[in-house]
């Protein structure tokens, strides 16, 4: 039952992320996943069409992820608070379940600032919503394990943190005033309404409620909350995507990925 519930949460994450990246240019675009503590495999973004790099502070966690994805994803050991990349090195960056507003001191602000610095076009932040009916779900609190189709690494099994939507929005707005912010959430009902594969008279009701729980909503009421910050508005239409692709041809060239990755690896070894 626990694995069934984790797969359900994975499906909810994917639906929210698909909604958010629908207007982003993918072919030839680079994306950085900051941290693997969420148990969410960077292979999702590779399958979506991005050139993916994943960074984490744990060599063991990186090794486990590399065994799963092979060379489809590029991995680097480093700190989310001091990313070893030039400004605007990636097109996009993603922070998943870091609990930015719940971290001590300035850690959350530093992580957000670094993600904004290295992304040239936009970032996504996904968190558990303390303001929802489910809060941080017990399914995540209990073991924080991952099914076979996601990243499995015991080193990255810290208890997940939640955020309050207004605090996260305020943090993002302070960090990047004037930027376009989009909100999407999922899992608006209490955790008892989520299917877990168990038999019984309530199982059919949980299955009936699943489409509502999985549908991406443009309001911050669901347990799964995500913010997308775009440097410029991109309509979720093929025309908007073509305009975005054309604009990228006129952007100043970025430094070679191979050179920067080499410098970053050398700095970490020192």
Q: Give the model confidence (pLDDT) of 175-205 as tens digits.
A: 999 899 999 999 999 999 999 888 888 888 9
Any idea how long the chain is?
Answer: 270
Q: Taking Cα atoms as reference points, which of 35, 1, 2 lies closest to residue 141?
A: 2
* Domain count for the chain: 1
d(CA 118, CA 193): 39
Residue 16 domain boundaries: 2-269
Structure tokens at 5: 């519930």
| pLDDT value, residue 147 | 38
Q: What is the pLDDT of residue 250?
A: 41
CA distance 207 to 270: 53
pLDDT at 131: 94
Which residues of the chain fall below pLDDT 50?
Answer: 143-152, 154-155, 157, 237-256, 260, 268-269
The angle subtended at Cα 151 by Cα 4 and Cα 108, nearest 5°, is 105
Give the pLDDT of residue 68: 87
C-alpha 244/C-alpha 179 separation (Å) is 16
User: What pLDDT, on the 0 to 100 scale, is given for residue 243?
Assistant: 42
Q: What is the CATH number of the domain that holds 136?
A: 3.40.50.150
């Amino acid at each position: 039952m626990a694995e069934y519930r984790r797969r359900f949460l994975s499906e909810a994450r994917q639906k929210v992320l698909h909604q958010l990246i629908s207007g982003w240019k993918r072919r030839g675009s680079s994306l950085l996943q900051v941290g693997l503590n969420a148990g969410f495999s960077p292979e999702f973004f590779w399958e979506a069409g991005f050139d993916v790099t994943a960074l984490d502070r744990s060599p063991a966690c990186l090794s486990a992820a590399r065994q799963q994805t092979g060379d489809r994803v590029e991995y680097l050991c480093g700190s989310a608070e001091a990313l070893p990349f030039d400004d605007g090195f990636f097109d996009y960056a993603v922070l998943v379940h870091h609990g930015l507003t719940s971290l001590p001191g300035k850690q959350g602000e530093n992580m957000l600032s670094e993600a904004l610095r290295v992304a040239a076009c936009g970032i996504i932040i996904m968190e558990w919503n303390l303001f929802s009916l489910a809060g941080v779900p017990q399914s995540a609190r209990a073991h924080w394990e991952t099914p076979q189709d996601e990243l499995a690494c015991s080193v990255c099994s810290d208890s997940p943190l939640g955020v309050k939507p207004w605090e996260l929005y305020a943090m993002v707005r302070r960090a990047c005033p004037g930027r376009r912010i989009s909100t999407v959430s999922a899992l608006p009902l209490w955790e008892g309404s989520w299917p877990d594969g168990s038999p019984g008279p309530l199982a059919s009701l949980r299955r009936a409620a699943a489409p509502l729980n999985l549908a991406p909503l443009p309001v911050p009421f669901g347990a799964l909350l995500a913010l997308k910050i775009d440097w410029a508005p991109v309509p979720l239409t093929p025309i908007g995507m073509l305009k975005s692709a054309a604009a990228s041809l006129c952007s100043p060239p970025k430094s070679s990925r191979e050179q920067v990755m080499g410098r970053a690896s050398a700095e970490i070894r020192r």
